């Protein structure tokens, strides 16, 4: 029984795999000849030592009995041990047929299988939950990838026109308009940075993250990172302690700046206005 429970805790890629493994132990626990697990929708989740036709016949009989009586007692058929599985999706069944080792099932076998059936239910529900989580993770990654690529184009155009306005390429601006252009450019940089974060997250989850190491000055990269989140830090006192000379290292310049920006953004987010960073 201990080994049977241990097997349920092992990784299973899907519910049929776990159900097939559980059936082997269920048969051994009571000395049965064959067994089947019927899912909440009436389909055969797993069958062992019986034909598909036999498994479907048992499922049809159980469905008819469940509709008529709502519950089927194990003791009704001495050579067939039937136990309900209270699955997350609804009620399923574990059915074990008697064999030469145990021609008739008694109270001991019934009690043992009911104990194990509870563990099978928990195991199957865990696999279902894992499958749902994996599906949601995949959907989230796909959304991040699509959304980030869709946002990149418009933001590049917006930043381009704002830069042209600031430089006077599209004509002179009033003093009032000029005063807000710098803020708009800073905000567009902020959005671009968030888009890059989305791209990085998607790459990381898809296993496509690759560092592009280059010789770079960490002091200069840190200054660039601080400049990139200047708007976020506008309500705080920023103190930067840095060496007077360059600090050369082989790093991925873009990702190094992302790390520094994240640290600064979190510091600003979780510190009161006017606090020293």
Give residue 73's pLDDT band: very low, low, confident or very high (50, 70, 90).
very low
So what's the pLDDT on residue 69?
44
Predicted pLDDT of residue 76: 52
CB 36 within 8 A of CB 26: no
Closest CA to 232 of 202, 277, 199: 277
Nearest to 38 by CA among 54, 18, 58: 58
Least confident range from 79-88, 181-190, 200-209, 238-247: namely 200-209
* pLDDT over 90, % of the chain: 37
Confidence grade of residue 66 (pLDDT, cut at 50, 70, 90): low
Kindly tell me if the per-residue pLDDT of 30 is higher than 60.
Answer: yes
Q: What are the residues whose beta carbons fall under 8 Å from the beta carbon of 261, sequence distance 6 or more?
A: 193, 225, 228, 229
φ and ψ of 213, to 5 deg:
-80, 135
Assigned token pair, 184? 């708009």
What is the SS3 string spanning 224-258? HHHHHCCCCCCCCECCCCCCCCCCEEEECHHHHHH
Residue 192: the pLDDT is 81
CA gap 165, 168 in Å, rounded: 5
Q: Is the pLDDT of residue 67 over 50?
A: no
Four-point Cα dihedral 225, 230, 236, 239, nearest 10? 40
Mean pLDDT of the chain: 86
Cβ contacts of 162 within 8 Å, gap of 6 or more? 181, 184, 185, 188
pTM of the model: 0.57
What's the confidence (pLDDT) of residue 203?
Answer: 76
What per-residue confidence (pLDDT) applies to 122?
Answer: 93
The length of the chain in residues reads: 277
- Measured in degrees and rounded to the nearest 5, phi and psi for residue 83 equal -130, 135
Confidence at residue 182, expressed as pLDDT on a 0 to 100 scale: 80
How remote is the C-alpha of 17 from its chain's centroid? 21
Tell me the two tokens of residue 30.
Answer: 């009571």
Q: When comparing pLDDT for 204 and 272, which is higher?
A: 272
Q: Could you report the per-residue pLDDT of 226-261, keeping only the tens digit for each?
A: 887 877 788 889 899 999 999 999 999 988 998 998
């Amino acid at each position: 029984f201990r080994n049977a429970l241990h097997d349920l805790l092992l990784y299973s890629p899907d519910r049929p795999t776990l159900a097939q493994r559980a059936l082997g132990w269920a048969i051994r626990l009571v000395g049965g000849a064959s067994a089947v697990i019927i899912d909440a929708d009436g389909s055969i989740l797993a069958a062992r030592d019986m034909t598909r036709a036999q498994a479907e016949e048992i499922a049809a009989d159980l469905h008819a009995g469940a509709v008529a009586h709502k519950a089927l007692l194990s003791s009704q058929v001495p050579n067939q041990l039937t136990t309900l599985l209270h699955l997350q999706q609804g009620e399923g069944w574990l059915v074990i047929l008697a064999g030469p080792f145990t021609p008739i099932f008694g109270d001991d076998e019934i009690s043992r299988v009911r104990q194990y059936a509870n563990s099978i239910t928990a195991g199957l529900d865990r696999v279902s939950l894992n499958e749902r989580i994996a599906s949601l993770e995949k959907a989230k990654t796909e959304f991040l990838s699509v959304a980030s690529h869709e946002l990149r184009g418009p933001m590049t155009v917006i930043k381009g026109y704002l830069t042209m306005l600031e430089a006077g390429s599209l004509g002179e601006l009033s003093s009032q308009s000029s005063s807000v252009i710098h803020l708009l450019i800073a905000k567009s940089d902020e959005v671009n940075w968030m888009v890059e974060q989305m791209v990085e997250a998607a790459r990381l989850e898809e296993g496509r993250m690759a560092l592009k190491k280059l010789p770079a000055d960490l002091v200069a990269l840190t200054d660039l990172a601080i400049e990139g989140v200047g708007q976020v830090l506008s309500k705080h006192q920023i103190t930067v302690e840095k060496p007077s000379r360059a600090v050369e290292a082989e790093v991925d310049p873009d990702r190094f700046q992302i790390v520094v920006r994240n640290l600064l953004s979190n510091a600003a987010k979780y510190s009161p206005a006017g606090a020293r960073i």
